Amino acid sequence: MTKVIGLISGTSVDGIDAALVDITGSQTNLTVELLTALTYPYPDNLRSQILDICSGASISIAELAELNDTIAQEFATAALIINQKYAVNAELIGSHGQTVYHRPPSQQLGYSLQLGRGEVIANLTGITTISNFRAADIAAGGHGAPLVPCVDVHLLGHPKYTRCVQNLGGIGNVTYLKNQPFWGSQNSIPPLPVYMGKVKSKKKEELVTTLADTQGVLGWDTGPSNTLLDLAVQQLSQGSKTYDKNGEWAATGRPCQELVEIWLKQDFFQQKPPKSTGRELFGKDYLLKCFSDGEKYHLSASDILATLTELTAASINHSYRNFLPNLPDQILLCGGGSHNLYLKKRIENLLAPIPVMTTAEVGIDVDFKEAIAFAILAYWRSLEIPCNLPEVTGAKSQVMLGEIHQPITRNKGIAE
């Protein structure tokens, strides 16, 4: 058994999600056990600085270097806290880092910058750390995203049901898992309830999955999700709110379908996969354009928010109906947006009669699925197993993901 910590902060920049898992097996015979998980919030000033950079604020090389190491220190702290909380010495860390820039490939190679140096995390924790997961896929001509579909195969592939795993993070992305008779995932990692960043432990359970190959797996970014909605809430509330809890504010409005149809004609939504996106496209500038477009419709604040929520749901519906070989038997939501009940309702209505559930209903915590995924990706990298999917990312070949950083001094108690 290998105890691995997965770390990630998404494009919403809410904080660092950390998951401690126990993994045995390899690519074709994987056992994963979630031990504990938590969210470690960024200090307010650091979060503000990250959001400014993501929005295009100028920064010097010296400031960027300092920010890089500051983020690494926060990631290391999150890892140490979860390690100490469970009173165990993890043997490996998989750190996604904090994305501050993402450029999809076009006439030139793409580029994706994640801050939080893995070598710093390794030395601060004394634990071997794997980071910079996207670079190798991008160098091979891919988008470097999404990377989680290979993990979704192991955790959520089903012998009977074709599934779409729809992540609703800062950006929405989908994994399409065509049912295969050799996929055995019926039960999954048990969810652990999180209260104020702390974990209330439950009895541990195990998931055993086997995989012959990744036949029929597709994936891509579907469009904006929490990033755009959270920015809108902050603007419309004059900063008194940071997000629309449960989608309650949007639910009081009426979406402008004409405006949504206009937005869906934009290039990104019409582009065929492979494709990826980020705050560079769906950030503050895009939101201001949406506000401007909505002025002639005389929309209230709740109407605007309902319309932006509708865009997220409609972009998912558009992606499924235009780019999937067949509609799925089940849709499994995960990520922070899965708590948005109004958004979930709109997805259900647009894709009826397909049942829309959350990954929690099949055993995987919606808030820590990505952190679990990067723990697994790190585990595979330690075994030198290539785990990008070229049909998903657009890369020319399969490559090993992540750079390995050994600590100068091992964390005490780690078996050599």
Q: Are residues 131 and 233 in the same domain?
A: no
Residue 292's CB is within 10 A of a number of other CB atoms, namely 9
For residue 96, pLDDT over 60 is answered with yes
For the stretch 289-322, pLDDT in tens is 999 999 999 999 999 999 999 999 999 999 999 9
Q: What proportion of the chain, given as a percentage, has pLDDT over 70? A: 90
> Is cis: bond before 274, omega within 30 of 0?
yes
In a domain, 152, yes or no: no
For 8, phi then psi, to 5°, come to -160, 145
Q: Calculate helix-pair angle for 301-323, 226-236, nearest 10 degrees.
A: 170
Q: Are residues 63 and 206 in the same domain?
A: yes
The pLDDT-based confidence of 412 (bands split at 50, 70, 90) is low
Q: Are residues 194 and 274 in the same domain?
A: no
Residue 233 CA to its chain's centroid (Å)? 21
CATH number of the domain bearing residue 93: 3.30.420.40
Q: Are residues 248 and 385 in the same domain?
A: no
In a domain, 324, yes or no: yes
- Rounded mean pLDDT, 70-87: 95
The pLDDT-based confidence of 217 (bands split at 50, 70, 90) is very high
Q: Are residues 108 and 196 in the same domain?
A: yes
In a domain, 177, yes or no: no
Q: How far apart are CA 167 and CA 394, in angstroms?
A: 20
Annotated binding site for ATP: 10-17
Decide: 269 and 316 in contact? Cβ < 8 Å.
no
For residue 187, pLDDT over 50 is answered with no
In a domain, 230, yes or no: yes
Q: Are residues 237 and 334 in the same domain?
A: yes
Residue 357's CB is within 10 A of a number of other CB atoms, namely 15
Q: Are residues 200 and 302 in the same domain?
A: no
The pLDDT-based confidence of 197 (bands split at 50, 70, 90) is very low
Q: Are residues 50 and 195 in the same domain?
A: yes
Q: Are residues 390 and 277 in the same domain?
A: no
In a domain, 159, yes or no: no
In a domain, 36, yes or no: yes
What is the predicted pLDDT for the residue at 182? 72
Decide: 110 and 101 in contact? Cβ < 8 Å.
no
Q: Which residues form the domain of 272?
A: 219-362
Q: Are residues 64 and 29 in the same domain?
A: yes
For 278, phi then psi, to 5°, come to -170, -165
Q: Are residues 77 and 125 in the same domain?
A: yes
Which one, of 137, 114, 318, lies nearest residue 224 by Cα? 318
What is the predicted pLDDT for the residue at 201? 28
Q: Are residues 237 and 139 in the same domain?
A: no
What is the predicted pLDDT for the residue at 27? 62
In a domain, 414, yes or no: no
Q: How far apart are CA 282 and CA 261, in angstroms?
A: 17
In a domain, 179, yes or no: no
For the stretch 272-293, pLDDT in tens is 999 999 999 999 999 999 999 9
Total domains present in the chain: 2
CA separation (Å) from 172 to 95, 217, 226, 239?
21, 17, 8, 24
Which token pair is 102? 């993402």
> Is cis: bond before 146, omega within 30 of 0?
yes
Annotated binding site: 10-17
